[in-house]
Structure 1
Amino acid sequence: MHPETKLLMTRMIEDAAYDEAFARLLQSFVAEKERERSSWARITVSAHYMLGGNSPQIERMAAVTETVLLALDLMDDLQDQDQSDKPWMRCPAPVALNALLALLMGVVAELGELQVQGRALVQASRIVARSINGQQADVTDTIATVDDYLRMTQEKSGSLFRFACFMGYADTQVSDDAIVILHELADCIGLVHQIQNDMRDIVRVDEKNDLLGKKRTLPALYLLSIDDPAFRPFQEYYEGTIPKDAILLQKKAIIRMIHDSGCLEYCRVVQSVCLQKAERLYEQLPAVSPWKETFRELTFASFLSGS
Structure 2
Amino acid sequence: MDESVRTELYRMVDEYALEATLNETLRKFIAEKAAEKTSWSEMTRCTHRMLGGRSPDLERHAALTELLILLLDIVDDLQDRDSPDRPWMTCDPAVTLNAVLAMFAMILGNCDTPGFGRTVGRLLARSIQGQQADITDAVQTEGDYFHMVSNKSGALVQLAVYMGYSLVEGIDPDVQATLDQLAGCAGIVSQIENDARDVLRLDLKNDLLHKKRTLPVLFMLEDSYEEFPALDEYYAGSLSREQFVGRQQEFVQYARDSGCIEYCKVVQALYKDKANELYDLLPPMQEPWAGKFREIFVPDYDVRYNAS
Spell out the pairing of 1:166-177 with structure 2 (5 A cutoff).
166-172=162-168, 173-177=170-174
Residue 200 of structure 1: how far off its partner (Å): 1.1
CA shift, 1:96, in A, is 1.2
TM-score under structure 2 length normalisation? 0.94
Q: Deviations over 1:212-254 (max 9, x none)?
A: 1101111111111115423211012111121112222221122
| Residue 104 (1) aligns with residue 101 (2) | no
Contact 1:64–1:107 (CA under 8 A) maintained in structure 2:
yes
- 1:276 Cα offset (Å): 0.7
Q: Which moved more, 1:279-288 or 1:61-70?
A: 279-288
- Match of residue 271 from structure 1: 268
The farther-off stretch of 70-79 and 222-231 is 222-231
> Is the CA contact (8 Å cut-off) linking 2:47 and 2:164 kept in structure 1?
yes
Question: 3-state DSSP class of the match of 1:111?
Answer: coil
* Corresponding residue to 2:190 among 193, 201, 211: 193
2:144 corresponds to: 148
1:290 aligns with 2:288: yes
Shift of 1:262: 0.5
Is the alpha carbon distance of 1:227 and 1:6 closer, same or farther for their aligned partners in structure 2, counting shifts above 3 Å?
closer
Task: Could you tell me which runs of 5 or more consecutive residues in structure 1 were left unpaired when the two chains were aligned.
Answer: none
Give the number of equivalent residue pairs: 302
* Cα offset, 1:184, TM superposition: 1.0
Q: Which amino acid counterpart does residue 95 of structure 2 have in structure 1?
A: V
Give a deviation string over 1:50-100, Cα, whole Å, max 9, x none: 123121211111111111111111111111111112111111222211111
- Specify whether residues 219 and 11 from structure 1 end up closer, same or farther in structure 2 by C-alpha distance, changes over 3 A only: same
- Shift in Å at residue 8 of structure 1? 0.5
- Residue 58 (structure 1) aligns with: 58
Q: CA deviation at 1:158?
A: 0.7
Q: How far off is 1:49 after superposition?
A: 1.3
Question: 1:244 & 1:230 partners in 2: Cα distance?
Answer: 20
SS in 1 for 2:228: helix
In structure 2, what is the Cα distance between the partners aligned to 1:79 and 1:227? Answer: 28
Identity of aligned residues (%): 41
Q: Helix, strand or coil: the match of 2:197? A: helix
Task: Report if the CA contact (8 A) 1:141-1:215 is conserved.
Answer: yes
Moved over 6 A (4+): none
1:302 Cα offset (Å): 4.1
CA RMSD of aligned residues (A): 1.6
Distance in 2 of aligned mates of 1:272 and 1:298: 16
Partner of 1:240: 237
> Cα gap change, 1:305/1:269 in structure 2, threshold over 3 Å: closer, same or farther?
closer
C-alpha distance in structure 2 between counterparts of 1:98 and 1:230, whole Å? 48
Structure 2 runs not aligned, ≥5 long: none
Q: Could you say if the C-alpha distance between residues 273 and 245 of structure 1 is closer, same or farther in structure 2, counting changes exceeding 3 Å?
A: same
Q: Identify the residue that residue 122 of structure 1 maps to in structure 2.
A: 118
Match of 2:16 in 1: 16
Aligned-pair distance for 1:304?
A: 6.9
CA distance in 2 between counterparts of 1:59 and 1:87 reads 26
Contact 1:12/1:107, CA 8 A, preserved across alignment: no
Q: Which residue does 2:132 correspond to in 1?
A: 136
Aligned twin of 1:164 = 160
